[in-house]
Amino acid sequence: MPLAVDVAVRVRGLTYTYPGSDVPALVGVDLEVGRGELLLLVGESGSGKSTLLRALDGLVPYYYGGTIRGTVEVDGLDVGGRSVGEMARHVGLVFQDPDRQLVMSRVDNEVAFGLESLGTAPDDIGARVDSALRSVGLEGRGGDFTSELSAGQAQRLALASVLATGPAVLALDEPLSQLDPDAAGSFLELLERERAARDVAVVMAEHRVGRCLPHADRVVVLRGGRVAFDGTARAFADGAWDGIGASVLPPLSQAFRGAPPVPLDAASARERVSALAREGRLSVRPRAQATAGDVLVRCSGIRFAYDGGAEVLRGADLELRAGEVLALVGPNGAGKSTLARHLNGLLRPSAGRLEVMGADAAPRPVASLARDVALLLQNPGDYLFERTVEDELRLSARLRGLSGAAAAAEVARVSGELGLEPHMGTFSWDLSAGQRQRVALGALLVGAPRVLVLDEPTRGMDVAHRTALAAILRREAASALKSVLLVTHDVELAGLSADRWAVMEDGRVVAEGGPSEVFRDRPAHAPVLWRATEGFVMPRGALCPAEVVVRGGGGP
């Protein structure tokens, strides 16, 4: 049967199993995507999103092997029996990590690479490269090194490279996961513009559902390799469908699920809140406020410059108190990560003073400071090099000077708290990114350091992981009386976990305090629910869905 003209992708009864696996990654998936349509693919890590995207151009099964049943048609062509190279003309695939997809050293050569591979006439390549770079806002950057681009620019370059070959379908695998909010916003706008201009079908897997939903026409939820939901973005947001937990729903859906239709962005949410508040149907029930204890870390007037460069920190002041989670937010390049690396001595200030546990930290080496300050950097895999998870924790115990029964007890305590018991015998590198992060966190928490610092812990992680991490952080602060510093662009994670906020701009902490004090002047750092509810409800705007109470409800 010939394909209808307006259908770009048609998947029928797709079941696929990776080689060496007993469990299929996709089970009986049916899917259609029209030209010019943006389909958002939602699901937890391991639910089959990436696998489905790779089935569109034949990487699954031709690159990965494994067994496949069912049919995939793209642009009127049956993918089965065609090579990946042939499908590359019809499907443009963009991956999450720029470092894992850029091939050439020069920006314009990168765009030309795909065109050359597909045998485009040399005389046409130049014009196509120029136009693709122009459409992603990289005109004039053709001669630059790809390694000098920011993550946002690199991701736009990856998009330009596939747009240049004129595909009918764009398949994007978590393209925003490595980007900060600004870069993610401009990538989404770019995508919106290009899909309209080129009438290209877009299939995008993303964890930042709330961010993408206003741009999406349809949503497909995958769970355990099956399609759990297939419908309009509106129907998805309302959450009025069976078989799904709240874990994949964006915050606005979680909060307003009881009073549909759910608003999709902060502006329309404010209108809803205003109406609900007038009817007296909305209130905010703030979570328990931490009682801050002693100051465990004090930064005063810290200055720092990487060798030869301009000053990154220009007199930063910050206090971390026992029992509270402090969120450190601010634009890229403000110095947040640099400040975090001072707290355990990885970097040393050129001026100013750092006090840890009430004493000057300057004379203490990193190995000593690490006993008081646990610093979790962005890539958890960097922490792991022993054979198994248990070995990792045992090594940490040894580094803290624990042995015998004391070591075993401490390892058991940490693995229990973080839920690592089922993985103790697993090779760390066989775990998912989220699990690896938990192992790295465990390795740091052995010996019970009083201060925990995390740098962008949710980059590339799914929503369920964010919720679980927030719970861990609140527990560490509240019951273990730790001081937690959370350096993040993820305003929702901060909303779920923080007691206090500090904003860094231009190498200094320019604002700090409770949500109301900080967000009023800087709403960009506020969770979407705070932006929606602030000013309408008492005692303060809501920080997370659990704080919003909608009464009456039902709807029309």
21: contact with another protein by CB under 8 A: no
Q: Does 16 bind another protein (CB under 8 A)?
A: no
Q: CA 262 to CA 252: how far, in whole Å?
A: 7
Q: Write the burial class of residue 216 (CB in 10 Å: 0-12 exposed, 13-18 middle, 19+ buried).
A: buried
CA atoms within 13 A on the CB side of 458: 26
CB contact at 8 A, 311 and 303: yes
For residue 508, count other CB atoms closer than 10 A to its CB: 20
Out of 93, 205, 312, 334, which residue is the one contacting another protein (CB under 8 A)?
93
Tell me if residue 488 falls in helix, strand or coil: coil
Stretch that binds another protein, among 89-97, 411-419, 503-511, 544-552 (CB under 8 A): 89-97
φ, ψ of residue 427 to 5 degrees: the values are -70, 125
Is residue 246 a contact point for another protein (CB under 8 A)? no
Q: Binding residue for another protein (CB under 8 A) from 6, 116, 294, 517?
A: 116
- Measured in degrees and rounded to the nearest 5, phi and psi for residue 323 equal 85, 0
CB of 151 to another protein, least distance (A): 12
- Between residues 241 and 306, which has the closer beta carbon with respect to another protein? 306
Q: By CB under 8 A, name the one of 4, 103, 196, 197 that touches another protein.
A: 103
Is position 508 an interface residue for another protein (rule: CB under 8 A)? Answer: no
DSSP 339-401: HHTTTTTSS--SEEEEEETTEE-TTS-HHHHTTTEEEE-S-GGGG--SSBHHHHHHHHHHHTT
Q: Contact with another protein (CB under 8 A): which of 370, 441, 485, 518?
A: 370
CA distance 227 to 435: 25
Q: Of residues 138-157, which lie at the interface with another protein (CB under 8 A)?
A: 143, 146-147
Do the bridges between strand 483-487 and strand 451-455 make them parallel or antiparallel, or are there none, so unpaired?
parallel
Can you tell me which of 7, 10, 70, 113 binds another protein, judged by CB under 8 A? 113
Distance CA 242, CA 440 (A): 36
Nearer to another protein, 366 or 409 (CB): 366
How many other β-carbons are positioned within 10 Å of the β-carbon of residue 479? 10
Integer-rounded Cα Rg, in Å, for the chain is 25
Among the residue ranges 39-47, 85-93, 352-360, 533-541, the one whose residues contact another protein (CB under 8 A): 85-93
Query: Least distance (Å) from another protein to the CB of residue 388?
Result: 13
Query: What span, in angstroms and rounded, lies between the C-alpha atoms of 254 and 238?
Result: 9
Nearer to another protein, 38 or 376 (CB): 376
In this chain, which of 1, 5, 81, 100 binds another protein, going by CB under 8 A?
A: 100
Minimum Å gap between C-beta 459 and another protein is: 13
Determine contact, residues 31/194, Cβ cutoff 8 Å: no
Q: Which two tokens stand for residue 387?
A: 């054979």
Binding-site member from 3, 84, 246, 305 for another protein (CB under 8 A): 84
**Residue 89 touching another protein (CB under 8 A):** yes
Number of residues in contact with another protein under rule CB under 8 A: 68
Q: Is 309 in the site for another protein (CB under 8 A)?
A: no
Under the binding rule (CB under 8 A), the answer on residue 391 touching another protein is no
Structure tokens at 208: 């930042």
Q: Residue 381, interface with another protein (CB under 8 A)?
A: yes
Q: Which residues of 161-191 are buried (b: 16+ CB within 10 A; e: fewer)?
A: bbbbbbbbbbbbbbbbbbbbbebbebbbebb
Work out how close the CB of 45 gets to another protein at its nearest, in angstroms, rounded to a whole number.
16
Asked if 357 touches another protein (CB under 8 A), the answer is no
Least distance to another protein from the beta carbon of 120, Å? 6
Is the Cβ of residue 235 or residue 448 nearer to another protein in the bound state?
448
Return the residue of 15, 109, 300, 332 that touches another protein, per CB under 8 A.
Answer: 109
Residue of the chain from 346, 464, 478, 510 that contacts another protein (CB under 8 A): 346
Q: 511: which 2 tokens? A: 């604002």
378 lines the binding site for another protein (CB under 8 A): yes
171-230 residues in contact with another protein (CB under 8 A) are none
Helices and strands (H and E) in the chain: how many: 20, 22
Among 216, 329, 374, 411, binds another protein (CB under 8 A): 374
Of 43-82, binders to another protein (CB under 8 A) are 57, 59, 63
Nearest distance from residue 4's CB to another protein, in Å? 26
Told to check if 326 binds another protein by CB under 8 A, we report no
Residue 91 CB, shortest distance to another protein, in Å, is 8
Contacts 24+ apart (CB under 8 A), 129-132: 129/164, 131/164, 132/160, 132/161, 132/163, 132/164
275 binds another protein (CB under 8 A): no
- The distance of closest approach from Cβ of residue 124 to another protein in the complex, given in angstroms and rounded to an integer, is 9
Q: Of the two residues 84 and 228, which places its CB atom closer to another protein in the complex?
A: 84
Cβ-in-10-Å burial (0-12, 13-18, 19+) of 20 comes to exposed
Residue 383 near another protein by CB under 8 A: yes
The strand pairing partners of 299, in sequence order, are: 318, 354
Degrees, nearest 5: CA angle 267-271-273 = 110
Q: Please, what is the minimum distance in Å from the beta carbon of residue 270 to another protein?
A: 41
Footprint of another protein on this chain (CB under 8 A)? Answer: 57, 59, 63, 83-86, 88-89, 91, 93, 95, 97, 99-106, 109, 112-122, 125-126, 129, 143, 146-147, 161-162, 165, 341, 344, 346, 365-367, 370-371, 374-379, 381-385, 396, 399-400, 429, 440, 443-444
